[in-house]
Structure 1
């Protein structure tokens, strides 16, 4: 197998595994339930979250590699705490202001803003912010780029493969939640939204607490 293809496939598989991490699934579930079971909205939300996530991960990783800068365990711990805080903030917003995230502010006559533009914007931002906690792990997965100053084309193909894996993984997760929500009535959907938001907040708090206790 060609080294370029091997690096791409390795990145693809690792990206898909990264996408289905518990914090990412919690964020996708929180955002996905706000779409009311609309498959197109759920997929769009997942793709935007994944794009923000992959762009931030790849951007920071590329800068660190080109600059020859490494990231410490201390940075990773505080980055994970930050990621937990983002998940908590997202869950609280979805729990208290679901209409604002899902549909935006009341529209004036003639206002043509896309109904779900707000949740798309939030999903892109949340994806980018939550990516910070995974940068060090990504850098450690790229030894061909970090050892001896090697920067072969084959090694660099890991990054687009990783990004595509994130897109595929998060897209599948978003679609699964949309399919489940679509089969529920409005009242049950409301309770599912609240339950998912509370669960996501609990996971974020646990994530933060475990990292702080491990300091």
Structure 2
């Protein structure tokens, strides 16, 4: 039985690496420059993912039922729509705010890497970065938003997890424990994956602004494209149900 639970942990780790999960978290943190905050968002996504897995899959296991295929399909559709929104927001932010990064020099000669937006300014106007007043707040991405995205992913993954647990274990109590170990694996997996995402985003934000913009644009485009694919695929599947 211990081997089965370890398998649940390993499958949870692998589950966190799925393309739609990576795309969602990458788009959420694409504007971040702190690798610590990026990793924190990955872990928060995992917590949200695990919470809904535990509630939805756990309830289905206790009741001895499976999640209806049509419901599971609509949940996947919701994931696709969410990815379209997340990817679109990344691209819209880049276009509307014309984000770039530069060194901001303070009066005491200290330097500070600074994300700056020229939204609302004349694109052809000259701008003295050194004279730019540093008077606006650097608000981090809301952790609640990341938590909610993880919860949506958790709901979509619950149907598969119920079937997987049922195929591995007979005892309902161990099935629930399997769900918990699976969820813990997804937290660890996404936190670890966030480290990989954080390194290029954090480093390029501080050193190579064009590369950071390219990364953000790539993340937004891939997330948007993947979301559209999932929406189309689940829409076709629903029409066949």
* CA distance, structure 2, for counterparts of residue 26 and residue 117 of structure 1: 16
Q: Does 1:129 align with 2:126?
A: no
Please point out which of 159, 177, 182 is paired with 1:157: 177
- Unaligned regions of 5+ residues in structure 1, if any? 104-112
- Calculate the TM-score normalised by the size of structure 2: 0.74
Residue in 2 that maps onto 1:196:
219
For the residues of structure 1 that align with 2:42 and 2:180, how far apart are their CA atoms?
Answer: 18
Is residue 93 of structure 2 the alignment partner of residue 72 of structure 1?
A: no
Q: Per-residue displacement from partner, 1:165-210 (whole Å, max 9, x unpaired)?
A: 1011111211101111233222321232122112101100001111
Of the candidates 3, 7, 10, which is equivalent to residue 6 of structure 1?
3
Pairing 1:89–2:109 present: no
1:114 Cα deviation from its structure 2 partner = 8.3
Residues 15 and 165, structure 1, Cα contact 8 Å, conserved in 2:
yes
Give 1 or 2: higher strand fraction. 2
* 1:116 counterpart (130, 140, 152): 140
Deviation at 1:44?
0.6
- Sort the Cα spacing of 1:135 and 1:44 in 2 relative to 1 into closer, same or farther, 3 A: same
What is the CA–CA distance in structure 2 between the aligned matches of 1:155 and 1:66, rounded to whole Å? Answer: 9
* Counterpart-to-counterpart distance in 2, 1:191 and 1:140: 40
Q: 2:29 aligns with which of 20, 24, 32?
A: 32
Question: Residues 33, 138 of structure 1: CA spacing in aligned structure 2 closer, same or farther, 3 A cutoff?
Answer: same
Q: CA deviation at 1:151?
A: 2.1
Larger radius of gyration, structure 1 or 2? 2
How far is the alpha carbon of 1:69 from its aligned partner? 3.1
Q: State how many pairs are aligned.
A: 196
Rounded to whole Å, the distance in 2 between the matches of 1:199 and 1:156 is: 35
Q: Distance in 2 between matches of 1:211 and 1:117?
A: 29
- Root mean square deviation, CA, Å: 2.4
Q: Which residue among 164, 170, 181 is the counterpart of 1:141?
A: 164
For residues 18 and 74 of structure 1, what CA distance do their matches in structure 2 show? 22
Partner of 1:41: 37
Does the 8 A contact of 2:72 with 2:159 survive in 1? yes
1:150-173: CA deviation from partner (whole Å, max 9, x where unpaired): 424x33321221111101111121
